[in-house]
């Protein structure tokens, strides 16, 4: 698709909207899993905790795949701008915002971009 056509811009806007929606869903799912995990830790149910950890990893992998699709469509520079805007918006509007969750996501991205360093 040619750059600077209405279709090209529409596709990029749609991908950005999808990424914003996916980011929101991802944060909601991870927060819910983390809350459930704390409950099962207090109850001493290690099997449920392990099950939730596996579920959390699946949710993270699904988000990473969505993120990669967005990165391919938007390009590296625009994707980073979008990600920064999403994080800034979340910091300003989400009363349950936890900076450590962003740090976890950044660490995941670093591990993903440098897989040889983790061996």
pLDDT in tens, 69-109: 888 888 899 889 888 888 887 787 776 666 666 555 555 55
Instruction: Report how far residue 14's alpha carbon sits from residue 58's, in angstroms, rounded to the nearest whole number.
Output: 25
Mean pLDDT of 54-63: 96
pLDDT interval class at 43 (50, 70, 90): very high
Answer yes or no: pTM beyond 0.85.
no
**Closest by alpha carbon to 33, among 41, 21, 43, 22?**
41
In the chain, what are the domain boundaries? 7-109
- Burial tier of 10 (Cβ tally within 10 Å: 0-12, 13-18, 19+): exposed
Chain-centroid distance of CA 52 in Å reads: 17
């Amino acid at each position: 698709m040619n750059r600077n056509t209405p279709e090209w811009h529409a596709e990029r806007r749609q991908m950005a909207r999808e990424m914003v929606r996916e980011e929101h869903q991802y944060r909601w799912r991870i927060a819910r899993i983390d809350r459930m995990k704390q409950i099962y830790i207090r109850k001493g149910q290690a099997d449920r905790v392990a099950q939730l950890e596996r579920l959390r990893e699946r949710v993270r992998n699904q988000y990473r795949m969505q993120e990669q699709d967005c990165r391919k469509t938007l390009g590296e520079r625009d994707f980073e701008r979008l990600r920064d805007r999403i994080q800034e918006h979340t910091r300003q509007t989400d009363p349950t915002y936890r900076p450590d969750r962003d740090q976890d996501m950044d660490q995941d991205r670093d591990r993903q971009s440098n897989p040889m360093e983790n061996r």
